[in-house]
């Protein structure tokens, strides 16, 4: 195994005979990830909330793909998907929301945490017994500004701030990555967990913030300095297909990780706090009703 080195990388290795699940695969980073994998021979499951959009995305992909309904913010949907999916080589936890107005999931969980972290936490643990290779966690540079308030994950005491809620959920992604790898290693499993972030990439993720100004600023800023979606997907693809160690985190190599080619990148001090990771894991088990299955 080796860490990625700086330099142009666009050649995803052949993935013949391998099955991938990509959440949120109908647009943006998820679509480009699924497209690249299918074109390299993988069988790709587009796990999407909107089946019609998923089918439209599937028609744009050359290769073997299937569309399955999954709303990662709804734990009943996560359980139904996991119960029927069969064996999978790689799970790519990509789906996410950014800067949305305050809202609760069907399970009563704040929407950023429910979508970006908790649903994927449950999905990964439910699939572990049938997973053959790895879990890939898509995070963000925003994790560096995240503050995880374990006694107020739902923003019931704090004044709700949509971008702070997003950053908290992205920090949760990083802590989940590290803690899941720690648990797998302790259990003697050869499964690995890797992660990546797209830097500044021009996608539609800012389209539903509820703030016209912030949507415009996000779209304008990403369009000005960001990468196209195909290039923003490269860190995820590297983390999903290359022979890198567990707990590797991949991002763009230049401009404060906003742009460039895939390379191993660092993470915040909070993201490497083992006590915080274990505490979040415990809270996530309580909220989701799903536990680590290999203990």
- Strands of the sheet containing 19-23, edge to edge, are 64-69, 43-48, 19-23, 88-93, 131-138, 192-196, 249-254, 259-264
Outline where the chain has alpha helix (H). 28-39, 51-58, 75-84, 111-112, 119-127, 162-186, 212-225, 229-232, 234-241, 274-288
Residues 233/33, Cβ–Cβ less than 8 Å:
yes
Is 166 catalytic? The answer is yes
Cα distances (Å, whole numbers) of residue 8 to 5, 38, 231, 266: 9, 21, 10, 20
As a 3-state breakdown, the chain gives helix, strand, coil percent values, each rounded to 5, of: 45, 20, 40
Alpha-carbon span 37 to 230, nearest angstrom = 12
Three-state DSSP state, 21:
strand
According to DSSP, residue 275 is labeled H
According to DSSP, residue 104 is labeled B
Alpha-carbon span 193 to 185, nearest angstrom = 10
β-partners of residue 23 are 47
Residue linked to tokens 């599937």: 58
Token pair of 145, please? 């500004």
β-partners of residue 90 are 20, 134
Considering the candidates 160, 166, 238, 249, report the single residue annotated as catalytic.
Answer: 166
Token pair of 207, please? 């389209």
Three-state DSSP state, 71:
coil
What are the catalytic residues?
Answer: 166
């Amino acid at each position: 195994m080796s860490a990625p080195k700086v330099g142009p990388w666009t050649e995803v290795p052949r993935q013949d005979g391998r099955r991938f699940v990509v959440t949120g695969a109908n647009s943006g980073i998820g679509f480009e990830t699924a497209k690249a994998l299918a074109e390299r021979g993988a069988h790709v499951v587009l796990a999407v909330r909107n089946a019609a959009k998923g089918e439209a995305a599937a028609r744009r992909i050359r290769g073997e793909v299937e569309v399955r309904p999954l709303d990662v913010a709804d734990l009943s949907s996560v359980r139904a998907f996991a119960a029927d999916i069969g064996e999978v080589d790689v799970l790519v936890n990509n789906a996410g929301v950014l800067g949305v107005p305050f809202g609760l999931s069907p399970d009563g969980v704040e929407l950023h945490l429910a979508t970006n972290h908790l649903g994927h936490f449950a999905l990964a643990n439910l699939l572990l017994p049938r997973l053959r290779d790895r879990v890939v966690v898509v995070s963000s540079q925003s994790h560096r500004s995240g503050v995880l308030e374990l006694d107020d994950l739902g923003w019931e005491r704090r004044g709700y701030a949509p971008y702070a809620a997003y950053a908290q959920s992205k920090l949760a992604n990083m802590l989940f990555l590290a803690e899941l790898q720690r648990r797998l290693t302790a259990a003697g499993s050869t499964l690995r967990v890797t992660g990546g972030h797209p830097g500044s990439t021009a996608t539609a993720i800012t389209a539903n913030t509820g703030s016209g100004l912030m949507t415009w600023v996000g779209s304008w800023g990403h369009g000005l300095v960001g990468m196209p979606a195909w290039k923003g997907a490269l860190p995820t693809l590297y983390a999903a297909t290359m022979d890198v160690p567990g707990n590797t985190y991949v991002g763009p190599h230049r401009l404060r990780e906003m742009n460039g080619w895939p390379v191993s990148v660092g993470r915040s001090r909070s993201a490497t706090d083992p006590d915080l990771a274990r505490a979040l894991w415990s809270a996530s088990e309580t909220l989701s009703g799903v536990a680590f299955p290999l203990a």
